[in-house]
Amino acid sequence: MKDTSCTNANHAIECTVKECKHHCSGENYCSLNKIRVGTHETNPTKPDCTDCNSFQVK
């Protein structure tokens, strides 16, 4: 059965976090219209320092 969230795939937001309830399973895209990205570091220096703050666990 097709995941209904994939009808809303936002091709401007690629994402591989399948554990997020906004992720389009089967497609590596977010289903939200927009997301908020933040950091947990004082001085971010690499991708690992950033977070999707719109993440919600399934």
Tell me if 9 contacts ligand SF4 by CB under 6 A. Answer: no
Q: Which of 6, 27, 28, 55 binds ligand SF4 (CB under 6 A)?
A: 55
Which of 7, 23, 33, 40 contacts ligand SF4 by CB under 6 A?
A: 23
Measured CA to CA, the distance from residue 9 to residue 41 in angstroms comes to 30
**Assign residue 25 a region: left if phi > 0, alpha if psi is -120 to 50, beta otherwise?**
beta
In angstroms, the CA 25 to CA 39 distance is: 25
Residues binding ligand SF4 (CB under 6 A): 13, 15, 17, 20, 22-23, 30, 32, 35, 52, 54-55
